[in-house]
């Protein structure tokens, strides 16, 4: 009987995908199809949970099939991340007038990311105090205890490395291994390696122009091919979001969330407040926040459902260049840096909130200025190199808590609501990288306001 229900559920999913295909053939806009996929996924997920229950074998087997569309799409995006980063950064640097511009771009983007992650930590502290969050108020079950023990085991690997040693991990000692994502800092290492190639090409351009011209043509050809691959993959966004959100809703345990509703509520209040601060920042730089939200919402929707900043990089770059008018060089750097540096959600809000919750258990006043200033500084420093995939927030929390001499095992109390909160954190991370790109493009005078103000839909690129 279970097998029959699984088959029926898969048929329903195929029918919903068919509906989205029909909408595409009718030239319904890309944004509308993304929202339709999101809405259908939420409804289908709720229905599945109401009929079968969150722990049902039917849902487990059904979502396993849904993963073909959901995680298959995420996998395709991850497939193009490294090639896109490499050719985009090499091409962007080769088209610069000098090395100094690269330094200005990087410095501006990183500055925005670090300033906003510091603000995010401050917002998190204020929210934690306002909601009176305390780790001692949360009851630990077997699952939470086991998670706490795992975190303590992971802490051993991190504590053995000093900050200089962690910074050295960014150096691409084996760029080919980093292209496979072998390390948590692999993405940033690939960026550095690509930058070296681009700068070297600039040097050859002056000394050996013929060889440089040949290399430039090769890069341009590869760049065109990679962008075409990105376009083909992005066409699948509505279907990927449909499958991802269906699984998320169908497998979310409402009872577990209700037990920790106070923490979930505080987390999303902090995330929303930080998002509003992002909008205030872009408004201060002369951009319309409403226009911005309307253009980036599909990208944030994918980030929310996929829980992966790294997988969102291609869509992030496409949105910045085609919708926000950001230059390709800045867009690629901000999207890539934003996936590994200064993540407002995973490296800012989450670790700071945990620290404030746990501090009272060891007799520390989270309202003392010495604690607040130290926590914000540690959050900023530790935000370098946080992996842009699921689990990055846990890694950042381990660094922050251990540096603050706080027990890390208590972080395991939140395992049941971790996926739900991680969705919002990832969306904020991606939004922060786009804000960094937009602000930097304005500061460096490399923004096309006509593109930003234009009501162009991503279909102009995706359906090309």
pLDDT at position 371 = 93
Q: When comparing pLDDT for 141 and 415, which is higher?
A: 415
Distance CA 462, CA 444 (A): 28
Region 59-67: mean pLDDT is 93
The pTM for the full model equals 0.79
**How many other CB atoms sit within 10 Å of the CB of residue 18?**
10
Phi-psi bin for 179: left (phi > 0), alpha (psi -120 to 50), beta? alpha
Q: What is the pLDDT of residue 260?
A: 77
* DSSP for 283-352, written as a single string: HHTT--HHHHHHHHHHHHHHHHHH--TTTTHHHHHHHHHHTS-B-HHHHHHHHHHHTTB--IIIIIIHHH
What is the number of domains present in the chain? Answer: 1
Residue pointed to by tokens 């226009």: 291
More confident residue, 388 or 61: 61
355 lies in which domain range?
2-462
pLDDT at 227 over 60: yes
pLDDT value for 172: 83
- State residue 99's pLDDT score: 47
Do residues 285 and 441 lie in contact, with contact meaning Cβ atoms separated by under 8 Å? no
User: Which of 25-34, 73-82, 91-100, 241-250 has the lowest average pLDDT?
Assistant: 91-100
**Cα(310)–Cα(75) distance, integer angstroms:** 11
List, in order, residues 6 or more apart from 221 with CB less than 8 Å away: none
16-25, Cβ contacts within 8 angstroms, sequence gap of 24 or more: 16/40, 16/44, 16/242, 17/69, 17/239, 17/242, 20/238, 20/239, 20/242, 24/235, 24/238
CATH number reported for the structural domain that contains residue 45 in this entry: 1.10.3860.10
pLDDT value of position 413: 62
Residue 236 has pLDDT above 80, yes or no: yes
d(CA 209, CA 227): 26
253 vs 370: which has the higher pLDDT: 370
Tokens encoding 450: 């006509």
> Alpha-carbon distance 393 to 396, whole Å?
5
User: Do the beta carbons of residue 49 and residue 245 sit within 8 Å?
Assistant: no
pLDDT score recorded for residue 308:
82
Q: Which pLDDT score is estimated for 30?
A: 80
Q: How confident is the model at residue 373 (pLDDT cuts 50, 70, 90)?
A: very high
Mean of the pLDDT values across residues 406-419? Answer: 70
- Among 424, 382, 417, residue whose Cα is nearest residue 403: 382
Report the SS3 class of residue 446.
coil
Give 149's pLDDT tier (boundaries 50, 70, 90).
low
Residue pair 222/86 in contact (Cβ under 8 Å)? The answer is no
Query: Please, which residues bridge with residue 369 across strands?
Result: none
List pLDDT tens digits, range 334-358: 988 888 888 999 889 999 998 998 8
- CA–CA gap between residue 280 and residue 334 (Å, rounded): 19
């Amino acid at each position: 009987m279970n097998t029959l229900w699984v088959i029926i559920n898969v048929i329903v999913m195929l029918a919903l995908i068919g509906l989205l295909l029909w909408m595409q053939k009718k030239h319904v806009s890309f944004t509308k199809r993304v929202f339709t996929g999101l809405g259908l996924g939420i409804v289908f997920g709720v229905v599945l949970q109401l009929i079968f229950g969150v722990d049902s074998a039917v849902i487990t087997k059904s979502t396993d099939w849904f993963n073909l569309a959901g995680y298959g799409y995420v996998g395709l995006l991850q497939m193009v991340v490294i090639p896109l980063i490499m050719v985009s950064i090499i091409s962007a640097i080769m088209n610069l007038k000098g090395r100094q511009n690269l330094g200005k771009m990087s410095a501006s983007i990183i500055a925005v990311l670090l300033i906003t992650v510091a603000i995010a930590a401050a917002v998190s502290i204020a929210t934690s105090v306002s909601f009176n969050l305390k780790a001692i108020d949360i009851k630990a079950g077997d699952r939470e205890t086991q998670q706490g023990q795992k975190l303590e085991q992971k802490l051993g690997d991190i504590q053995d490395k000093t900050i200089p040693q962690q910074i050295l991990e960014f150096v691409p000692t084996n760029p080919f291994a980093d292209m496979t994502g072998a390390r948590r800092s692999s993405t940033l290492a690939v960026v550095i390696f690509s930058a070296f190639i681009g700068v070297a090409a600039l040097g050859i351009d002056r000394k050996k122009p013929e060889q440089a011209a040949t290399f430039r043509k090769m890069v341009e050809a590869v760049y065109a091919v990679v962008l075409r691959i990105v376009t083909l993959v992005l066409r699948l966004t509505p279907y990927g979001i449909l499958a991802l959100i269906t699984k998320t809703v169908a497998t979310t345990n409402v009872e577990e969330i209700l037990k920790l509703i106070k923490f979930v509520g505080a987390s999303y209040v902090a995330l929303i407040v930080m998002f509003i601060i992002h909008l205030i920042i872009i408004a201060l730089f002369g951009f319309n926040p409403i226009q911005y939200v309307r253009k980036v919402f599909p990208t944030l929707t994918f980030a929310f459902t996929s829980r992966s900043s790294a997988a969102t990089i291609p869509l992030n770059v496409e949105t910045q260049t085609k919708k926000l008018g950001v230059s390709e060089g800045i867009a690629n750097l901000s999207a890539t840096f934003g996936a590994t540096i200064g993540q407002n959600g995973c490296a800012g809000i989450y670790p700071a909130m945990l620290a404030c919750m746990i501090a009272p258990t060891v007799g520390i006043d989270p309202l003392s200025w010495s604690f607040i200033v130290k926590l914000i500084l540690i959050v900023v420093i530790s935000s370098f190199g946080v992996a842009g995939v699921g689990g990055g927030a846990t890694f950042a929390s381990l660094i922050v808590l251990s540096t603050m001499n706080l027990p890390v095992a208590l972080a395991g109390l939140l395992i049941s609501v971790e996926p739900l909160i991680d969705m919002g954190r990832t969306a904020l991370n991606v939004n922060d990288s786009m804000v960094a790109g937009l602000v930097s493009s304005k500061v460096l005078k490399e923004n096309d306001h006509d593109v930003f103000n234009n009501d162009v839909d991503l279909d102009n690129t995706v359906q090309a």
